Structure 1
Amino acid sequence: MTKQVLFCFPYAGGAASVYAKWRKHLLHGIECYPVEYAGRGKRWSEPFYQQMDDATEDLFHQLKHTIGSANYSFFGHSMGGLIAYELCKKVIREGYQPPAHLYLSGVKAPDQPRDRSIHHLPDDAFKKEIQELKGTPQEVLDNQDLFSIFSPILRADFRLVEEYRFIKEESKVPSPIIGLYGEEDDVDEEAIKKWREYTTSHFHVWGYPGGHFFINDHYEELARTISEEIGHRNDRVGHR
């Protein structure tokens, strides 16, 4: 039996390790593959991506062997959702089978404006913006030595999103899209529903209590629900 793989793409500032705890909550037969971006985790010494094409080119070559030999799906949160979408398009252009499902969480559709630019702000202002997002541990924000280590990663990731340019041609993908959102997040249900225009297949929306980083509070349910759906990939994409 061909294995089932769920590739998980981290949010801005995140490393593959943010998905490590998902593994024990996926159903038997579903493999979690946390994706590691250049410049963090085991790839700490590598230069950051300068633009989205750098990310998709790098990640395609990193994942293509598994993509070519497995049934697979993509899950991406925030920046990771945008990268997952663009990588899906790259996979198709390269002649590979697209993901069975594309789970896009806490991220605006590609044609929607990004509200503000923060990657260039002075340290104090940048730190304040990061703190309001509530995704970076407070001990990192409070410790200047730690923040000086993580700040370049965060700035590079925010730059990637803030300087992203949407190309309308070939914007639709054949994979079913499932949009996920936190009910207290600025990227709300209305914003997530705009992803409907980017698939030629099924589209569904899942809402969860919480803000932008709702996935950290609901990872057990998310892992279980997603793996159940992947396990029944030949059926119609289900409802929650």
Structure 2
Amino acid sequence: MSSAGWLQPAEAAAEADLRLLLFPPAGAGGTVFRDWFGLLPRDVAAQVVTLPGRLDRRSEPAHTDFGVLVDALWAGLEPELDGRPYAFFGHSMGAMIAYALTQAIEREGADPPVLLAASAWAPVGFARPTVEHARQPEPGLIAWLRDTGSLPEEIIADPGALAMVLPALRADLELCADYTDDDTVIDCPVVTYSGRLDPLLAPGAMDSWAPRTAKHLGHREFPGHHFYLIDHTIGVVTDVAGNLRAAARP
């Protein structure tokens, strides 16, 4: 698979000085980030990381082995790095993948992101799904998704959208279940975001990020649940862009 398959749009705007790679939550393509492109400043070029099994990669098998995914993702993205400072923003499963990818990049001694922005996921205190959650019959799965807020209600309520999302979502839940945290501390600066009423985060869970980075830039909490960022896009985008600009300064 060419590296272009991992990113939408395939090319980062040439006139931008900075790049921002967006990692979606489980089961999703870039829908959750649809408004970001019009809100980011012109010096920041955004691209959505598209995993196999969704959107125009729907014909490819979705990954359920976490280590294999990270290796494949890095092999696909490394040729895309062009010397411009870049950052990762991940929401939920996307934050978990972005954190693991940052670890892999630093282990290899390659140029790491100048910033990791992590939303709605924490190394400790996140209610990680199990393989049993992923493989349960559809009525039980939908009830669990609704109870935990793991999927936006507008998708659950739309039979067509739900049918399109569920295969990739089941694979992604197994992928999350396969993740193992090893307390890795990264050199990359980290800033975090969450919804105040997120049922998937234990109280104080986002505090577990502070010891995982050499430079913790703090936590921003917004009203709302697991998908708080849909209602607070402007606030999140503004803060991420400001932190990216600051992190990229010589």
**Residues in 2 aligned to 1:113 and 1:136: alpha-carbon distance in whole angstroms:** 18
- Deviation of 1:44 after TM superposition, in Å, equals 1.2
- Deviation of 1:84 after TM superposition, in Å, equals 0.3
Structure 1 alignment gaps of length 5 or more: none
Contact 1:7–1:34 (CA<8 Å) still a contact in 2?
yes
Q: Which amino acid aligns with 2:69?
A: A
- Deviation of 1:162 after TM superposition, in Å, equals 1.8
Q: Which amino acid aligns with 2:113?
A: P
**Which of 171, 183, 198 is equivalent to 2:196?**
183
**Residues in 2 aligned to 1:189 and 1:68: alpha-carbon distance in whole angstroms:** 40
Q: Normalising to structure 2: TM-score of the pair?
A: 0.84
Residues 121-200 of structure 1: matches in 2 within 5 Å? 121-132=136-147, 133=149, 135-138=151-154, 140-143=156-159, 146-168=161-183, 171-186=184-199, 187=201, 190-200=204-214
- Counterpart of 1:32 in structure 2 is 46
**Which of 18, 24, 42 is equivalent to 1:10?**
24
Q: Normalising to structure 1: TM-score of the pair?
A: 0.87
**Which of 67, 73, 78 is equivalent to 2:81?**
67
- Deviation of 1:120 after TM superposition, in Å, equals 1.8
Identity of aligned residues (%): 25
Secondary structure of the corresponding residue to residue 12 of structure 1? coil
Structure 2 alignment gaps of length 5 or more: 1-14
**Which of 66, 81, 85 is equivalent to 1:52?**
66
Secondary structure of the corresponding residue to residue 200 of structure 1? coil
- Counterpart of 1:120 in structure 2 is 135
How many residue pairs match? The answer is 232
Contact 2:126–2:205 (CA<8 Å) still a contact in 1?
no
**Residues in 1 aligned to 2:94 and 2:23: alpha-carbon distance in whole angstroms:** 5
**Residues in 2 aligned to 1:25 and 1:113: alpha-carbon distance in whole angstroms:** 29
Deviation digits for residues 160-214 of structure 1 (CA, Å, limit 9, x no counterpart): 112212234xx11001111211011132661001111111123411111110101
- Counterpart of 1:220 in structure 2 is 234
Contact 1:49–1:55 (CA<8 Å) still a contact in 2?
yes
- Deviation of 1:140 after TM superposition, in Å, equals 4.6
Residues 194-209 of structure 1: matches in 2 within 5 Å? 194-209=208-223
1:81 equivalent to 2:95? Answer yes
Q: Which amino acid aligns with 1:86?
A: A
- Deviation of 1:88 after TM superposition, in Å, equals 0.4
**Residues in 2 aligned to 1:188 and 1:103: alpha-carbon distance in whole angstroms:** 19
Q: Which amino acid aligns with 2:48?
A: P
